[in-house]
Structure 1
Amino acid sequence: MSIPAHPGTTSDQIAQRFSSTRRGARLARLLVLQQLDAWGFPYRSRPSDLIAAIVAELAANAVLHGRVPGRDFEVRLARTATTLRVEVADTRTEGRPPVEDAPTAPPPDSETGRGLLLVAGLAARWGVAGRQGPGKTVWAEIDLTCRGGRT
């Protein structure tokens, strides 16, 4: 069962493509925050903060590691009565990361490699899936029925 759509929206999900740039990643996060507010999850609420952090990481990964020149990345946001789900799809086919319950930490002196650790820590569930067409989709869900994102 899903939450009825907010009077200003017509659906319990949205999808939007963005340019594979830092600006596109920022705009993706801002669009998601705006949609969450329209659905009744105000800015700075716990669900809004969790999803914003997840979108920021996944969109940054799509721009930095999944970028294919001339191709956009896509963000999809969906809600049910108990879950918020975000999906970020890019068109890069090689280098698909493995789905792991707990991503491995990079060496302590590394300046990168912690994004999926953050996503795994914030989300109740996450994973990587194929997509229609080239590329992959990285998704994450938070539960709305418990305190925090993890069950």
Structure 2
Amino acid sequence: MNQIDTTQLPVHSAHFRALLSATPRGARLARLLAVEWMRTREELPYGVTEAGAQLVAELAANAATHGRVAGRSFRLVLLVREDALRIEVTDTRADALPRRMPPSPCADSGRGLLLVEALADRWGVGLDAAPQKTVWAELDLPQP
């Protein structure tokens, strides 16, 4: 399911979309594909690309961990707008809305949304056609 021919990626497109398996492998592939696509975008400076890669990693990992439904995939969408890079990850667990929880000092996980909040200029959650939800984050682009 995760076999995507990167030679066919829309290099000059202002958006990217991929459907990936809701597994750790799918989450890793989401980050790799996003990084490859962002590197081809001249309007995305290095700092935005790096922050975007981290945001994709966190949102995709959350979709594969907390939004997982057996046999269902998650969707990654990247949009370059005039003033921002928008990252959207849609999964099929609208009943499992993300919520920031205070991390335990000894816990190995639980800091993802804190990181999203720190990196993104804006982020939120939207409910789509049942049973989907989309978690999105935006990074402002420097204006000339």
- Using the size of structure 2 for normalisation, the TM-score is 0.84
In the TM superposition, residue 12 of structure 1 has moved relative to its aligned partner by 1.2
Which residue pairs with 1:127 in the alignment? 124
Q: Please state how far the C-alpha of 1:81 moved relative to its aligned partner.
A: 2.1
Instruction: Report the equivalent of 1:82.
Output: 83
Distance 1:95 1:133, change over 3 A: closer
In the other structure, the counterpart of 1:33 is 35
- Pick one of 17, 20, 23 that aligns with 2:19: 17
Letter of the aligned partner of 1:68 in structure 2? V
Between 47-56 and 129-138, the greater mean CA deviation after superposition: 129-138
* Paired position in structure 1 for 2:6: none
Does the residue aligned with 1:24 lie in a helix, a strand or coil? helix
Q: Report Cα offsets for 1:17-49 as digits up to 9, x if no partner.
A: 00111111111111111111111267x921111
Indicate how the Cα distance of structure 1 residues 29 and 41 shifts in structure 2: closer, same or farther if over 3 A, else same: farther
Q: How many residues align?
A: 134
Identity %: 46
Aligned-partner Cα distance in 1 for 2:98–2:71: 22
- Tell me if structure 2 keeps the 8 A contact 1:73–1:91: yes
Cα distance in 1, alignment partners of residues 38 and 124 from structure 2: 22
Residue of structure 2 equivalent to 1:149:
none
Higher deviation after alignment, 59-68 or 33-42: 33-42
* CA-based RMSD: 2.0
**C-alpha deviations, 1:124-151, integer Å up to 9, x for none?**
00001112342211000001127xxxxx
Contact preservation (8 Å) 1:29, 1:55: yes
Query: Which residue identity lines up with residue 56 of structure 1 in the other structure?
Result: A
What letter corresponds to residue 36 of structure 2 in structure 1? Q
After superposing on structure 2, the runs of 4+ consecutive aligned residues of structure 1 that deviate more than 6 Å are none
Shift of 1:113: 1.1
CA–CA distance in structure 1, aligned partners of residues 115 and 11 of structure 2: 32
